[in-house]
């Protein structure tokens, strides 16, 4: 009985988290020479919590020029940042490791009004 109430409490908590976790929580993973998610949508005027996970056994980088984000990502490393986009638009992100962007390691952050 006690165990059951703990579980329902937990599921309520998870549901609440899901409801509160806005679309501005973004996780982008690398997989070989591309980003698993190459189009990411967020809302303007709200803080974006960004996580970039390098799943590969070699270095990548995450670069988003308009927001001055330039993060080297060593093998298996994770990078996190919080920023607030104010202007709606399409912003290109890419991997700054030499040759990776050319090989297709690019994506776009879509900031919706």
Residues in contact with Cu ion by CB under 5 A are 60, 95, 97, 100, 105
User: Minimal distance in Å, beta carbon 27 to Cu ion?
Assistant: 17
DSSP secondary structure string for all residues of 48-107: EEEEEE--SSS-EEEEEGGGTEEEEE-TT-EEEEEE---S-EEEEEE--STTTTTTT-EE
User: Minimal distance in Å, beta carbon 77 to Cu ion?
Assistant: 12
- Give whichever of 53 and 111 is closer to Cu ion, judged by the CB atom: 53
Distance CA 111, CA 77 (A): 26
- Give whichever of 40 and 60 is closer to Cu ion, judged by the CB atom: 60
User: Minimal distance in Å, beta carbon 7 to Cu ion?
Assistant: 41
- Give whichever of 85 and 93 is closer to Cu ion, judged by the CB atom: 93
């Amino acid at each position: 009985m006690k165990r059951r109430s703990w579980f329902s409490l937990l599921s309520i908590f998870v549901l609440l988290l899901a409801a509160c976790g806005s679309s501005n929580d973004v996780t982008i993973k690398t997989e070989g020479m591309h980003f698993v998610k190459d189009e990411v949508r967020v809302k303007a005027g709200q803080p974006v919590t960004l996580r970039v996970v390098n799943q590969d056994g070699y270095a990548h980088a995450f670069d988003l020029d308009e927001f001055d984000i330039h993060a080297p990502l060593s093998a298996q490393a994770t990078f996190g940042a919080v920023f607030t986009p104010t202007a709606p638009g399409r912003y290109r992100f890419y991997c700054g490791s030499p040759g990776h962007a050319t090989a297709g390691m690019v994506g776009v952050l879509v900031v919706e009004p």
